[in-house]
């Protein structure tokens, strides 16, 4: 009974002490902390927006803006390589397409320069068309992924990766004098 009264007294005493804080100070503190959070949020989002726009204008520029200079040549190599591959396949497609037309148009002024027959030319035309289209898709996917990478990297630039973040796994035990034994595993996650 004495313990119960002591607990009630502590709860009432500490709740009234906490209630004695001046409302104007509380409002000022909340207002200042809210403004600082909004300012930080605005800075993070404007940096991400800028990185995305730069990457949209010139692939790799958003990565350079985020100071991830090693990503810029990778982005340029992927997009440039896919564009070159697509261009090469388009030239081959046009070459075989023109020779297929010359083979089948019954016009003596147009000549098939490959000496291949119609089924082979048709097969080559389809082959290069397919890989031209794949190359275009890879260019577009690389361009979009470039912008997404710049945006995500800008958002994560404020993420805390210090050594103060840790997870500790320890055995847990609690001996109670009422012959109760509590045992298990405890997980402690430390932030700073």
Q: Is the per-residue pLDDT at 2 higher than 50?
A: yes
Cβ atoms 164, 191 nearer than 8 A: yes
Angle at 147 between CA 144 and CA 151, to 5 degrees: 140
Residue 63: how many other CB atoms lie within 10 Å:
25
114-136 pLDDT per residue, tens? 889 999 999 999 999 999 999 99
Distance from C-alpha of 151 to C-alpha of 157, rounded to nearest angstrom: 10
Give the pLDDT score at 36: 74
């Amino acid at each position: 009974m004495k313990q119960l009264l002591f607990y009630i007294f502590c709860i009432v005493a500490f709740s009234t002490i906490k209630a004695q804080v001046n409302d104007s100070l509380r409002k000022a503190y909340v207002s200042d902390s809210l403004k600082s959070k909004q300012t930080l949020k605005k800075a993070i989002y404007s940096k991400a927006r800028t990185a995305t726009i730069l990457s949209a204008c010139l692939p790799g520029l958003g990565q350079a803006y985020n100071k991830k200079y090693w990503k810029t040549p990778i982005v340029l190599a992927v997009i440039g390589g896919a564009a070159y591959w697509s261009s090469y396949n388009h030239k081959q497609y046009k070459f075989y397409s023109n020779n297929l037309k010359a083979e089948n148009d019954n016009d003596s002024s147009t000549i098939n320069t490959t000496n291949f027959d119609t089924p082979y030319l048709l097969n080559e035309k389809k082959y290069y068309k397919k890989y031209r289209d794949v190359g275009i898709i890879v260019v577009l996917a690389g361009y979009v992924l470039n912008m997404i990478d710049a945006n995500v990297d800008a958002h994560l630039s404020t993420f805390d990766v210090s050594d103060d973040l840790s997870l500790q796994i320890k055995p847990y035990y609690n001996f109670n004098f009422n012959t109760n034994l509590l045992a298990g595993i405890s997980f402690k996650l430390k932030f700073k």
